[in-house]
């Protein structure tokens, strides 16, 4: 596929057919993530590929339980808002159960040049936190996930990048540790990517005009 077509065709896919993805294609998609750029070439990612239905359901239960815990607390203040959050998890997270593949992306922190130097020089942590937040390591993760999303389109698949479940990060990590013994010292769950063959009916929102988001200095 032409490069521009891949970019334009990519959209978040939340409806999938029940067609599986052959392992060789999963590997090609992961490899696109592997070769993404990262600050200091630190490659601060780890891709956990879940195709096991039972494990996907256990992860969904951990998310649903946490969502319910938060929603109940919201109910006390405004039941309408609580219910909206309950609905949100169904529409914007649990759809991944219909995707044959779920890639869980773990990350470890990365600080660009200047951080350790300022730490060494004795700058107060508070000042550094202001400069180095949001965590610059997440930019590397973004590059890897975007590479995988585009590679998926090129191979005829679709994906959805998800951070909406991150409030249940600790619970998901606990499920992975308990069920498959997966644990990576110093790493944390950064996002997930569902993958599969798109079914009809996936919609995407429009975008701001270029003029609205660009400033030229000539
Ligand atoms: C960092 C990031 C996190 C996202 N998290 C979610 C999510 O948790 N659930 C979801 O359904 N979509 C999620 N999305 C998809 C966005 O909603 C989507 O990219 C945006 O609405 C534009 O639509 P499009 O991808 O179809 O072009 C996420 C996208 C990004 C880049």
> Residue 208: its pLDDT value, please?
98
Tokens of 181: 């013994």
Taken in order of first residue, the domains within the chain and their CATH numbers are 3-213 (3.40.109.10)
What pLDDT is attached to residue 131? Answer: 86
Pocket test for ligand 1, best of 10, 12, 145 (most atoms within 8 A of CB): 12
Please give the pLDDT value at position 133.
Answer: 72
Q: What is the pLDDT along the chain (218 residues), one digit of tens a residue?
A: 999 999 999 999 999 999 999 999 999 999 999 999 999 999 999 999 999 999 999 999 999 999 999 999 999 999 999 999 999 999 999 999 999 999 999 999 888 888 899 999 999 999 988 888 767 899 999 999 999 999 999 999 999 999 999 999 999 999 999 999 999 999 999 999 999 999 999 999 999 999 999 999 99
Ligand 1 mutation pick, 105, 107, 144, 162, max ligand atoms within 8 A of CB: 162
The pTM is what?
0.95
The pLDDT assigned to 135 comes to 78
Task: List, for residues 121-153, the tens digit of each pLDDT value.
Answer: 999 999 988 888 767 899 999 999 999 999 999
Dist CA 145 CA 148 (whole Å)? 5
Whose CA is closest to 171, among 58, 76, 91? 58
Q: Helix crossing, 79-92 with 53-77: angle to 10°?
A: 160
| Cα–ligand 1 centroid distance for 115 (angstroms) | 30
Partnered with residue 105 across adjacent β-strands are 47, 191
48 near 176, Cβ under 8 Å?
A: yes
Residue with tokens 């978040």: 12
Contact 138, 189 (CB under 8 A): no
Q: Which protein residues are within 6 Å of ligand 1, measured from CB?
A: 11-12, 14, 92-93, 160-164, 204-205
Question: Hey, CA dihedral for 108, 195, 53, 58, is it positive or negative?
Answer: positive
Instruction: Give me the residue label for tokens 């593949």.
Output: 101
DSSP-based three-state secondary structure for 202: coil
Rounded distance from Cα 65 to ligand 1 centre (Å)? 22
Q: Which tokens sit at 46?
A: 């780890």
- Return contacts of 182-189, CB within 8 angstroms, 24+ apart: 182/48, 184/46, 184/106, 184/108, 186/108, 186/109, 187/46, 187/106, 187/107, 187/108, 188/106, 188/107, 188/108, 189/104, 189/105, 189/106
Nearest CA to ligand 1 atom 6: 162
- Determine which residue's CA is closest to atom 1 belonging to ligand 1: 163
Sign of CA dihedral 48, 54, 60, 63: negative
Q: How many helices (H) and strands (E) does the chain have?
A: 9, 4
């Amino acid at each position: 596929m032409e490069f521009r077509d891949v970019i334009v065709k990519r959209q978040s896919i939340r409806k999938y057919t029940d067609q599986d993805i052959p392992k060789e294609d999963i590997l090609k998609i992961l490899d696109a993530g592997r070769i993404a750029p990262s600050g200091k070439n630190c490659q601060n990612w780890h891709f956990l590929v879940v195709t096991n239905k039972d494990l996907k359901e256990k992860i969904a239960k951990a998310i649903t339980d946490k969502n319910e815990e938060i929603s109940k607390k919201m109910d006390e203040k405004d039941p309408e808002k609580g219910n909206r959050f309950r609905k949100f998890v169904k529409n914007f997270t649990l759809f991944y159960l219909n995707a044959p593949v779920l890639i869980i992306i773990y990350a470890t922190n990365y600080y660009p040049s200047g951080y350790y130097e300022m730490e060494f020089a004795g700058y107060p942590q508070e000042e550094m936190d202001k400069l180095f937040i949001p965590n610059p390591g997440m930019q590397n993760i973004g590059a890897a996930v975007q590479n995988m999303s585009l590679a998926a389109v090129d191979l005829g698949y679709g994906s959805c990048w998800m951070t909406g479940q991150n409030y249940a990060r600790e619970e998901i990590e606990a499920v992975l540790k308990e069920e498959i013994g997966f644990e990576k010292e110093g790493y944390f769950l950064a996002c997930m990517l569902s993958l599969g063959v798109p079914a009809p009916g996936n919609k995407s929102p429009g975008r701001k005009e270029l003029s609205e988001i660009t400033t030229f200095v000539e």
